[in-house]
Chains A and B, each alone.
Chain A
């Protein structure tokens, strides 16, 4: 933990290959990815997204995480100061390790998505006993 004060990192918009049909904005969520012996852990910042808005898709070693923002109730209010923009989130990763798809776990707390991607258990070495004749 550092004593340095935290800085704002402005959101980057997703550079999509095609033009989206819906006029929605997608941002790149900041992530932490770390790997342990058993699993790959992923943390993604998705403020404003609730549990229902999360879509996780693992296809051909490409992991796509999408967070669809719920309405924030900003209706007839007059904007005084705007320092951050709101929108949906999307990010893609290519996953090198063989992931056990059946056991992927996702939890959403305080706008932080936590994803655990367990690795497929490697073939355990088996000792073969040689029986004496």
Chain B
């Protein structure tokens, strides 16, 4: 730190100034990177996911309005969860029948992979969709559940 201050003295040209500036620029660039701060939306791959856990289970939620349950393909392999699917809006809508005033809802295929926070019991994974929100319930594997250790009296 003292070294930096020494360089910042007026009249002294800091040979590292350009590198310093570059580092600062990179810091700005990477601010808001996913995982930087909780609550910062960072994902760009559809669908956005919310992951939470309690003692026994990991919950993965995704907002997928307009995606039918049969269009979804969810798989767990090792500690990777993949959600694939396709959003198709009703056939017969759109250009064929009328003209668009606004078109903000995207359609198409999506595929998202997520590394789970711990080992899970593959056999008991369930998924349900309700009101356009997909909820995947992943029970944790027995060995990762918190175990209470009793202290024995002498």
Contact = CB atoms under 8 A, between A and B. Distances in A.
B45 A110 contact: no
B46 A33 contact: no
Interface in A95-128: 108-112
A8 B131 contact: no
Interface in B21-67: 34-35, 38-39, 41-54, 58-59, 61, 63-67
B89 interface: yes
B41 A85 contact: yes
A16 B88 CA distance: 32
**Chain B interface residue bracket vs A:** 35 or more
Given A77-B59, A110-B65, A9 B41 contact: no
A7 B44 contact: yes
Contacts of A30: 104-105
B16 interface: no
Size band of the interface chain A makes with B? 35 or more
Given A6-B87, A112-B132, A45 B101 contact: no
B50 A110 contact: no
Given A3-B109, A8-B44, A32-B105, A82 B50 contact: yes
Interface string A1-33: 111111111100000000000000000001111
A41 B53 CA distance: 40
Nearest to A36: B98
A33 B54 CA distance: 41
Interface of A: 1-10, 30-37, 41, 43, 45-50, 70, 72, 74, 76-85, 108-112
14 contacts: A31-B102, A34-B101, A36-B98, A72-B61, A74-B59, A78-B52, A80-B117, A81-B49, A82-B51, A83-B49, A85-B39, A110-B67, A110-B68, A111-B132
